[in-house]
Structure 1
């Protein structure tokens, strides 16, 4: 059977080439698959099954990569600072470099920070009295009110910068404790009012 298959294959090659050349001479050359199929048809029936027709090449699949998800960019200056600056303690303060304002309750001091460095301060402060202690923590500035008046205590709070509910930096007495706010001198209150933006981080340390 092996000798017969080899002879059959030789015959297929001869017939296939003859078909290709004759087709080319006539102006319409048959494909290689058509020539081989014709050659197989000329073989005896007992040998046609022993010769496999060439398998069709699998279709080529083009893989299109999925589009990358859009990057989420920081929107506020406080968020951009948190990305840009490594969170380390700023020398001379108890606060981390991601904060824009730093309050030391036990030391009665406050600073403005910028890119992990002291930009202003320390300045003296007073904070909440007994029963109204200023809570420690990290907060974000929510809004400003240049000529704010307390609706609870009917007291003026010039240059208010709110960062924890009703708690704010504002101009106030440096000899009397507050109801939770951070009192600053007029000069310092104006500096904090002008420097802090909505979303900036305020760190209050006990």
Structure 2
């Protein structure tokens, strides 16, 4: 090592030593007891650890509206980044009739809807795509033609709680 490099290293060590000495941490008989020297520096218990990061309760990025996770067959209503209702079991679109991914507005609601293409009731329909995808009461044992099937109580809750224009986010 060059003399200049050694001098630089020694000066940093000296600065650390002087600073530590000024605080009473070096050469004053400090022990692990939390007191230094004649009691000039007294440390209390260590500070508490930082709080854990806030984990969003759903896989969606919206803070108000409905969140649907197709891979887990669950949905939630969220208000201000908090779960207001759910998770609720769902069924969704079968192969060839997949429920689309994305964020959509609630477009309309029909309490006693009837599906003409599939010739069946769709109570408590809350539509959120132009192509006719909706939350509604339906079988939780059979996949749908793209809609989100809910149990009767949940379908009614979504119908009465979600407002026109409110967000519905569908994630994989």
Q: TM-score under structure 2 normalisation?
A: 0.66
Distance 1:90 1:108 in 2: 20
Choose 1 or 2 for highest CA Rg: 1
Q: 1:151: which partner in 2?
A: 116
Q: How does 1:46-85 map to 2 (within 5 A)?
A: none
Q: TM-score under structure 1 normalisation?
A: 0.56
Gaps of 5+ in 1: 1-88
Q: 2:150: which partner in 1?
A: 184
Point out 4+ residue stretches in structure 1 off by more than 2 angstroms. Answer: none
Per-residue Cα deviation, 1:4-47 (whole angstroms, up to 9, x for no partner): xxxxxxxxxxxxxxxxxxxxxxxxxxxxxxxxxxxxxxxxxxxx
Q: Which has the higher helix share?
A: 1
Q: CA deviation at 1:97?
A: 3.3
CA contact (8 A) 1:167 1:182 kept: yes
Q: Higher relative CO (CA 8 A, sep ≥ 6), structure 1 or 2?
A: 2
Distance 2:147 2:60 in 1: 19
Gaps of 5+ in 2: 1-53
Q: CA deviation at 1:91?
A: 1.9
**Cα RMSD for the two superposed structures:** 1.3
Q: 2:82: which partner in 1?
A: 117
Distance 2:120 2:94 in 1: 16
Q: Which has the higher strand share?
A: 2
CA contact (8 A) 1:90 1:96 kept: no
Task: Say which of 159, 168, 173 aligns to 2:134.
Answer: 168
Count of residue pairs the alignment pairs up: 118
CA contact (8 A) 2:111 2:124 kept: yes
